[in-house]
Amino acid sequence: MTLILVPGRATLDQLEQIWRTEAAVVLHESALPGIEAAAELVSKAAAGDEAVYGVNTGFGKLASVRIKPGDTAQLQRNLILSHCCGVGEVLDIATTRLMMALKLLSAGRGASGITWNTLSVIQHMLREGVTPVIPSQGSVGASGDLAPLAHMAAAMIGEGEAIFKGARMPAGKALAMAGIAPAVLAPKEGLGLINGTQFSTACSLTGYFSAIRNLEASVVSSCLSTDAIMGSTAPLEAGIHAFRGHRGQIDVARAMRAVMEGSVIRESHRDGDSRVQDPYCIRCQPQVAGAALDLLRYAGQTLETEANAVSDNPLVLVAEGKIVSGGNFHAEPVAFAADQIALAIAEIGAIAQRRVALMVDPTLSFDLPPFLTPEPGLNSGLMIAEVTTAALMSENKHLANPCSTDSTPTSANQEDHVSMAAHGARRLLRMNDNLNVIIGVELMCAAQGVEFRAPLETSPALQSALALIRSEIATLKDDRFMAGDIAIAASLVAEGRVQAECNVAGLLEGEVA
C-alpha cells in the first residue's frame, strides 16, 4: 500500500495510518515544482557573494564564519555528523517512519531548499523498509530536533546505523542491500534535514493516537463498571449535559447512553433504589472524560497543523526571491500539545482508578464480594491488581507535570529559550502504557462484577465487550498468576479491540448506535 501525501494537506487519519501500518509514503507530484524552485534559489545563493545563514556560513554561534564555495557540500556533511549526539533508548520503527514522513511533508512545501533527489531517498527508505536508528534523547525542541534528525540524515548519506529486514547494521550496508543510493547533500540540505520539529511532532502524534484509544476504552470500562455496582444512568441524561454545553462532555454522555442501552441490570434497580447519587467516579465520567476529549481534540488540531508546517531555518521564500532566517523550528506549540495530552492521560487514569477501587472495596461496592473473589480470605482476588493501578496512576500524575515551562539555554546562549517538546512528547508513550493497564484492570474488575449480577445481564453492546474479554481472560475463581491476565487486558485496550466492540469511536462522533 502506498499513501500519497499532499504537503500542507495531510490529515490526522493519514498520519495515523502511516504510524500503524508499513505503508510506503510518497509526495504528490504537485509538490515537485515548488521543491525544485526553492533548491534552485539555494544553489544560486551558494554561488553568490552574499552571506546566507547555513548556506555559506557556519551554524548557531558560528554564523559569522564564512564558508568557501568549494566547501559548502562538506559543510553540510560535517553538520550532520557533528550533530549525531543522540543517546538513550532507540525510537521504535513505527514512530521513526512517521518522523521521516513528516520531514517529507515539511520539505515538500517548497520552502526548505532540499532537492528532489535527496527527498526521494526518504521515499525509497520508507518503501524498502530501511529505518534509521534514532536515539530518543538529546533534543531540547528548539533549533529543531537536531540530534534525532541528524541520526535520520546520517542514515540517508550512508553513515550511522539503520534497521533493515529486522537486523541492525551500518546504514551504508542497509542502503546497499535495499538498492538505494546514498544521498549526496547539496548546499543547505543538511541544515534543512536536521532543523524542524518532526521528532517531537511524531512522538506527540503517537501519544495523541494512543490517548484517543484509551479514552474510547474508558467509555466502555466506565459503563461496565456502572452496571457492576448497579449504578444509576440518570447522570447521563442529555439535558444535563446540554446545559453545560461542552462538546466533549455531551459526546461522552451520548456514547455512554448508547453503550448501556438495553441493560437488564440497570432496569432491575431503576425503581426503589435507595441510592440518590453514586460516587463521582461513576456520576462524573462524562464531565471528566469529556473535558479530556476536548483537550485531546485541541491538541490533535495543533499537531495536524504542525505536521503540515515548514519548521526549519532559514526558509526559502521563492516568490520573494530570498532566503530568510526565522524561528519556526521552535517547538513551543508541540510542547504545549504534549503537555495537554499528558494532562488528559493522567485524568482519564485517575477517575478509572477510582472506579477500580470502588469495585474491590466491600464498604463501597454495593454488595459485591470483597476484592471480587467468590471466596474472600482464602483468595485475595483482585486486591493487588488495584494496587498496581494506584501505582501507575500516581506515576502518571508525576509524569503529567508540564515540560514546556522547563526551558534552559543552550549553544553558548544563542538558543536561550527552548521548548522541551521532545522531552514532553517522549513521556507520552510511558503514560499511555500505564493507562492501558489501568483501564485493562478496570475492565477485568467490571467484567467480574457484572458476572456476579447473573442472571441479570448487561446491555447488548457491553455483552459483546464482555465476550471479547472472556475469550482472552477467564473468570477469576481461585487465585492464579495475575500478571499475564493484566498484560492481555492492557493489550485489548491498546489494540482498540474492546472499544471497537461497542463502536465507541463512531458514537463519540455522533453516529447512531
Average of per-residue pLDDT across 135-160? 95
Q: Are residues 192 and 249 in the same domain?
A: no
The top-scoring range by mean pLDDT among 66-80, 98-112, 401-415 is: 98-112
User: Which residue is listed with cell 501500518?
Assistant: 21
Residue 380 in contact with residue 368, Cβ under 8 Å?
no
Task: HSE, CB side, 13 Å, CA atoms: give it for residue 189.
Answer: 29
In one-letter notation, the amino acid at residue 430 is R
Q: Is the pLDDT of residue 451 over 90?
A: yes
Position 256 in a domain: yes
Q: Are residues 129 and 217 in the same domain?
A: no
Q: What is the pLDDT of residue 276?
A: 65
Position 12 in a domain: yes
Summarize pLDDT for 464-508 with one digit per residue, the tens.
999 999 999 999 999 999 999 999 999 999 999 999 999 999 999
Q: Are residues 370 and 488 in the same domain?
A: yes
Q: Is the pLDDT of residue 513 over 60?
A: no
Residue 152 in contact with residue 119, Cβ under 8 Å?
no
Q: How far apart are CA 304 and CA 111, in angstroms?
A: 19
Position 413 in a domain: no
Average of per-residue pLDDT across 299-319? 97
Q: Which residues form the domain of 43?
A: 2-196
Position 47 in a domain: yes
Terminal-to-terminal C-alpha distance of the chain: 32
Q: Are residues 124 and 155 in the same domain?
A: yes
Average of per-residue pLDDT across 443-450? 98
Residue 109 in contact with residue 6, Cβ under 8 Å?
no
Q: How far apart are CA 309 and CA 303, in angstroms?
A: 10
Banded model confidence at residue 70, pLDDT cuts 50, 70, 90? confident
Banded model confidence at residue 427, pLDDT cuts 50, 70, 90? very high
Q: What is the pLDDT of residue 487?
A: 98
Q: Are residues 315 and 368 in the same domain?
A: yes
Q: Is the pLDDT of residue 273 over 90?
A: no
Q: How far apart are CA 430 and CA 418, in angstroms?
A: 23
Q: What is the pLDDT of residue 16?
A: 98
Q: Are residues 151 and 249 in the same domain?
A: no
Q: Are residues 10 and 99 in the same domain?
A: yes
Residue 368 in contact with residue 449, Cβ under 8 Å?
yes
Q: How far apart are CA 494 and CA 374, in angstroms?
A: 29
Non-local CB neighbours of 80 within 8 Å, separated by 6+ positions: 150, 153, 154, 157, 159, 185, 190, 193, 194
Q: Are residues 173 and 208 in the same domain?
A: no
Our count of domains for the chain comes to 2
Residue 353 in contact with residue 220, Cβ under 8 Å?
no
Banded model confidence at residue 412, pLDDT cuts 50, 70, 90? confident
Q: What is the CATH number of the domain that holds 240?
A: 1.20.200.10
Q: What average pLDDT is seen over the chain?
A: 94
Q: Are residues 220 and 132 in the same domain?
A: no
- Could you tell me what percent of the chain has a pLDDT over 90? 86
Position 118 in a domain: yes
Q: What is the pLDDT of residue 57?
A: 73
Domain boundary, last residue among 196, 221, 252: 196
What residues are labeled active site? 53, 83, 195, 280, 283, 329, 415
Q: Is the pLDDT of residue 364 over 90?
A: no
Q: Are residues 214 and 177 in the same domain?
A: no
Position 358 in a domain: yes
Sign of CA dihedral 440, 443, 449, 452: negative
Banded model confidence at residue 74, pLDDT cuts 50, 70, 90? confident
Domain boundary, last residue among 164, 196, 228: 196
Q: Are residues 157 and 228 in the same domain?
A: no
Q: Which residues of 484-502 are buried (b: 16+ CB within 10 A; e: fewer)?
A: ebbeebbebbbebbbbbbb
Q: Are residues 151 and 218 in the same domain?
A: no
Position 414 in a domain: no
Per the model's pLDDT, the better-predicted residue between 301 and 1 turns out to be: 301
Q: What is the CATH number of the domain that holds 123?
A: 1.10.275.10
How do 322-324 and 135-137 pair as beta strands?
unpaired
Helices 146-156 and 93-107 cross at an angle (nearest 10°) of 90
Alpha-carbon separation of residue 73 from 41, 186, 498 (angstroms): 16, 6, 53
Q: What is the pLDDT of residue 52?
A: 77
Residue 427 in contact with residue 447, Cβ under 8 Å?
no
Summarize pLDDT for 216-233 with one digit per residue, the tens.
999 999 999 999 999 999
Q: Is the pLDDT of residue 286 over 90?
A: yes
Position 513 in a domain: no
Residue 384 in contact with residue 445, Cβ under 8 Å?
no
Q: What is the pLDDT of residue 416?
A: 79
Summarize pLDDT for 85-137 with one digit per residue, the tens.
999 999 999 999 999 999 999 999 999 999 999 999 999 999 999 999 999 99
Q: Is the pLDDT of residue 73 over 80?
A: no
Q: Which residues of 329-349 are buried (b: 16+ CB within 10 A; e: fewer)?
A: bbbbbbbbbbbbbbbbbbbbb
How do 161-164 and 167-170 pair as beta strands?
antiparallel
Banded model confidence at residue 277, pLDDT cuts 50, 70, 90? confident
The residues that bridge with 90 in the sheet, in sequence order, are 135
In one-letter notation, the amino acid at residue 128 is E
Q: What is the pLDDT of residue 90?
A: 98
Q: What is the pLDDT of residue 274?
A: 58
Q: Residue by residue, what is the 3-state secondary structure of 357-425?
A: HHHHCCCCCCCCCHHHCCCECCECCCHHHHHHHHHHHHHHHHHCCCCCCCCCCECCCCECCCCCHHHHH
Average of per-residue pLDDT across 258-273? 87
Domain boundary, last residue among 179, 196, 213: 196
Lowest mean pLDDT among 28-42, 50-64, 218-232, 373-387: 50-64
Closest by alpha carbon to 268, among 236, 227, 219? 227
Q: What is the pLDDT of residue 272?
A: 62
Q: How far apart are CA 369 and CA 3, in angstroms?
A: 53
